[in-house]
């Protein structure tokens, strides 16, 4: 089965072709980061318009690269949510229009299920069951995964997601959007011993996260340094390091608890923040102590992409799922635990 995958949930236009016999045949991605950086964050209307401009050329690029004609497609999968509703509608309407013209099935896919199963695209994918940390600009969740559609939410952020906290810290430090990579680069020059920021919600049982208090602590520290006339480049780097260490330690502590609680030995880490080097080092250390193993998608599949949507769509389409004729899905909020087991 040849499945075209379309991702337009936020600020990246992703397209891929997944063949259930050959694997990933081709993928392409256009990032809107440069456009939104001017505004310090994603502007939904601009995101939707740019998806409209980029999507059809990217689809043709992927088909050409794979050597597949439109008439040779067996199905189309698209991100139905969660995400920005206008951006989601671009992908949904394009997918349904193409599927109607080609008389093939079409299926709306959950964006976070795509991230959750992105490591399945690698040469040595994890087997079920496993614990998954989904950590991005919009979500921070720990999930126990027993199979496709069989998910148990273990914990999630009660306020800001980790990636969102990175973006806000970057703005306080005068860094560009998106914040995560910029904060990490600045933190490289920081002194890890100068400041110690709190590790939120690690002093109590449970697997939920909270990063709003850490954001406030960062702002308070910067204001105090400024009032003392001590907010120079070195101090900014020290604050960036303290912030990054606090986020990373919090995520690592919660993953350790999740592995211990479930007794599982496989940990999947996905989403944009999964690319953070210190996070990977911390999780590698914890997994080694527990004779466990961490799995990650390749670099370009850590952020939003069409390949993960094509893969999940293919698996669910193979199980007989598809959208009803003419009924598009665009769901801004969609709890993953409500997904069906195919």
Q: Quick one: tokens of 73?
A: 């497609």
The C-alpha atoms of residue 80 and residue 260 are separated, in whole angstroms, by 34
Q: Would you say 135 is a known binding-site residue?
A: yes
DSSP-assigned letter for residue 175: P
CB 253 within 8 A of CB 210: no
Q: Would you say 96 is a known binding-site residue?
A: no
Q: Would you say 137 is a known binding-site residue?
A: yes
Q: Would you say 291 is a known binding-site residue?
A: no
The total number of residues shown for the chain amounts to 342
Rg (CA), the chain: 20
Q: Would you say 157 is a known binding-site residue?
A: no
Residue 150, class by beta-carbon neighbours within 10 Å (0-12 exposed, 13-18 middle, 19+ buried)?
middle
The C-alpha atoms of residue 7 and residue 327 are separated, in whole angstroms, by 18
Can the peptide bond before residue 178 be classed as cis, meaning omega within 30 degrees of 0?
yes
Q: Would you say 51 is a known binding-site residue?
A: no
Q: Would you say 182 is a known binding-site residue?
A: no
Q: Would you say 111 is a known binding-site residue?
A: yes
The closest of 26, 10, 6 to 107, measured between CA atoms, is: 6
227: left (phi over 0), alpha (psi -120 to 50) or beta: alpha
Q: Quick one: tokens of 267?
A: 């940990």
Residue tagged 């080097």 (tokens): 277
Q: Quick one: tokens of 108?
A: 């709306």
The C-alpha atoms of residue 134 and residue 132 are separated, in whole angstroms, by 6
The C-alpha atoms of residue 326 and residue 323 are separated, in whole angstroms, by 8
**E strand spans, the chain:** 2-7, 12-19, 23-31, 75-81, 106-110, 130-135, 140-147, 150-156, 266-270, 293-295
Q: Would you say 134 is a known binding-site residue?
A: yes
Q: Do strands 130-135 and 293-295 pair parallel, antiparallel, or not at all (unpaired)?
A: unpaired
Enumerate the known binding-site residues for Fe cation: 111, 115, 304
Enumerate the known binding-site residues: 111, 115, 134-138, 167, 180, 276, 304
Enumerate the known binding-site residues for substrate: 134-138, 167, 180, 276
């Amino acid at each position: 089965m040849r499945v075209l995958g379309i991702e337009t949930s936020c600020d990246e236009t992703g397209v891929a072709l997944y063949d259930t016999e050959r694997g990933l045949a081709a993928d392409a991605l256009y990032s809107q980061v440069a456009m939104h950086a001017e505004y310090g964050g994603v502007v939904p209307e601009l995101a939707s318009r740019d998806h409209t401009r980029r999507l059809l050329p990217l689809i043709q690029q992927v088909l050409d690269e794979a050597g597949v004609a439109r008439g040779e497609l067996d199905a189309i999968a698209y991100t139905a949510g969660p995400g920005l509703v206008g951006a989601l509608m671009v992908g949904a309407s394009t997918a349904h229009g193409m599927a109607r013209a080609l008389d093939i099935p079409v299926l709306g896919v959950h964006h976070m299920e795509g991230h959750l199963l992105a490591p399945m695209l690698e040469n040595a994918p994890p087997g079920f069951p496993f614990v998954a940390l989904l950590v991005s600009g919009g979500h921070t969740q720990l999930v126990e995964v027993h199979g496709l559609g069989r998910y148990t939410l273990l914990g999630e952020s009660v306020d800001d997601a980790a990636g969102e906290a990175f973006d806000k810290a970057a703005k306080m430090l005068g860094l560009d959007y998106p914040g995560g990579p910029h904060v990490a680069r600045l933190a490289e020059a920081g002194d890890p011993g100068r400041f110690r920021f709190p590790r939120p919600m690690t002093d109590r049982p449970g697997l939920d996260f909270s990063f709003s208090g850490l954001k406030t602590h960062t702002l308070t520290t910067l204001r105090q340094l400024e009032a003392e006339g001590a907010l120079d480049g070195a101090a900014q780097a020290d604050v960036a390091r303290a912030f990054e260490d606090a986020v990373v330690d919090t995520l690592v502590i919660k993953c350790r608890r999740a592995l211990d609680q479930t007794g599982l030995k496989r940990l999947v880490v996905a989403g944009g923040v999964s690319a953070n080097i210190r996070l990977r080092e911390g999780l590698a250390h914890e997994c080694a102590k527990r004779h466990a193993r961490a799995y990650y998608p390749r670099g370009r599949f850590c952020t939003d992409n069409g390949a993960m949507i094509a893969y999940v769509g293919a698996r669910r389409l193979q199980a007989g799922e598809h959208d009803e004729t003419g009924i598009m899905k665009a769901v801004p909020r969609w709890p993953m635990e409500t997904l069906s087991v195919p």
